[in-house]
Homo-oligomer: A and B are copies of this chain.
Amino acid sequence: MSTAAARYGDPTAALDVTGEVLRLQLAHRSVRSFGPREVTDGELAALITAAQSAPTSSNLQPWSVVAVRDPTRKARLAALAAGQEFVARAPLFLVWLADLGRARRLAERGGTEVAAADYLETTLIAFIDTALAAQNTVTAAASLGLGTVFVGAIRIHPEEVAAELGLPPHTVAAFGLAVGEPDPLERADVKPRLPREAVLHRERYDGPAADAHIPGYDKVLAAYNARFGLSGGWSDRVLARLKGPESMAGRHRLREALARLGFPSR
């Protein structure tokens, strides 16, 4: 199958334009099982330079990243992230930080104020810019033959993660990213996404037209899941994941934790 066909689980899907970058992006899959080779310091430098090359609102650069290689620290972070053992087994675990602390320290040294940092808008800028940067790292890693997977579970225990990494006030782990050489034996594949016309609207949002594609996608995803011995389609998984606070593994407390860590998000 072409990369577009695999991306949509639709043998007829194809694109008019292509290239090395698109092929690499379309072939993305999550990697949770890693080979033995280390990620070199030169590779790490390139991954971070790629991240810094992403756009950032008003050039604020409101993020930082902690590169964790120490096995005992990775194991502790894995335990804090719902016990996902691949975090400990990845040669490199990057903890991406929404970082308004740098600006707050600048203000403190200058005897001035940055009261805009108190607002939800600024919290969102920090998380958005961190995500833009990290996605550049995902693509750069793929171009170097490295696999990655994001770890949102690092937000289950934000205060404990902050203590583990020695974070100053006004910084918080936005997500983790495990990085390493993909284990060729891992049973994982390109996961089909919603048909393009379920997410792409022209001029104005058309909910009924978009949602009409969901039943077909449920069948595509059920077939994909069945290949890995899993049952169910997309809709039932979305509904289970978003059922209520009890389906959030503790992450329903994030607002409170953010406030304590210096993101009042008013």
Contacts and interface: CB of A to CB of B under 8 A. Distances in A.
B117 A242 contact: yes
A28 B54 contact: yes
A1 interface: no
Interface stretch (A79-87, A105-113, A179-187): A105-113
Given A65-B201, A66-B205, A30 B43 contact: no
A119 B50 contact: no
A79 to B, nearest CB: 17
Contacts of A114: 238-239, 242-244
B205 A64 contact: yes
A90 interface: no
Contacts of A160: none
User: How many copies of the polypeptide does the oligomer hold?
Assistant: 2
Given A102-B211, A140-B25, A167-B205, A49 B115 contact: no
Contacts of A70: 203
A202 B66 contact: yes
A237 interface: yes
Interface in A56-72: 57-61, 63-70
A261 to B, nearest CB: 12
Nearest to A256: B120
A175 B128 contact: yes
**Chain A binding surface, main DSSP class:** helix
B136 A134 contact: no
Contacts of A221: 59
A260 interface: no
A152 interface: yes
A37 interface: no
Given A50-B22, A131-B131, A135-B136, A199 B63 contact: yes
Contact of A205 (B140, B168, B191): B168
Given A196-B52, A245-B115, A248-B119, A201 B64 contact: yes
Interface in A77-131: 97, 99, 101-103, 105-107, 110, 112-117, 119-122, 124-125, 127-131
7 contacts: A4-B49, A19-B143, A57-B150, A116-B242, A128-B174, A131-B132, A136-B139
* A-B pairs, 4 with minimum CB distance: A16-B42, A21-B143, A131-B131, A114-B242
